A and B are shown apart, each in its own frame.
Chain A
């Protein structure tokens, strides 16, 4: 079994895993970081989005071994102690979630959008969310949350 090493939420981690282990499996089962969810297994739903070297990626469609040496950030790595990240706070303020299952992927995906486009239009937010599905909210409040989060991050 190959040994893999990476940085997850600022901590160095290393483990022996089966070659077929997916990144999301490694995060959830080996590291116990269960905030990253598996909704569809097939890159459709986006509940598993994490950042790998600063880019949002679907961790259900990437082998853990492909993240060798990478810097990975999950939803657990965003808040600063008790203080929520502005994007998390924006979701909370704007009722951007109901059951919460898609939420980590939505937040991680939104953060990649605002680092590429600090002031997105509503349409740009909606287009960016093409790869993230939600079944509770109807998306309106998610879009509102992301626009508010982007505004807060611009300061």
Chain B
């Protein structure tokens, strides 16, 4: 499957992200039908479930998990951003292109945050800036923020020490706060 090759091949990585994206949406949808609106889904459990579904027992292998979580972070980020864009566009009167509108992931409305969509979009911008400035710190924050991994788990996924991870996390938080307050 796409997973193994994703590391070296950006196209395959894109495939993987797309798969996770779809999976995340469908899991969220399924959950939503059981649990009442107003209940905020836990990103971690969501991603873990997606991981299990997509990988099965293979998911225990470290490299697989590592690739998966990176992909999941990207996918989750997109889910959120698409959602925020749609919501934002809706607020402004909905002038998004037709195609975008069809992809609206209404099923993950309550996913991670009740934040103002403009904030999510600003965050996306800030993350792009951070990525240019410090790609490592950005990866840490993306994993933690979008898949809800702990510092220790993130360190394991990235193959770095826990201290380095905590350090990057602290820095990324501070830098993002700066970028967001500048915006």
Do the two shown chains form a genuine complex with each other?
A: no
Binding site for B on A (CB under 8 A): none
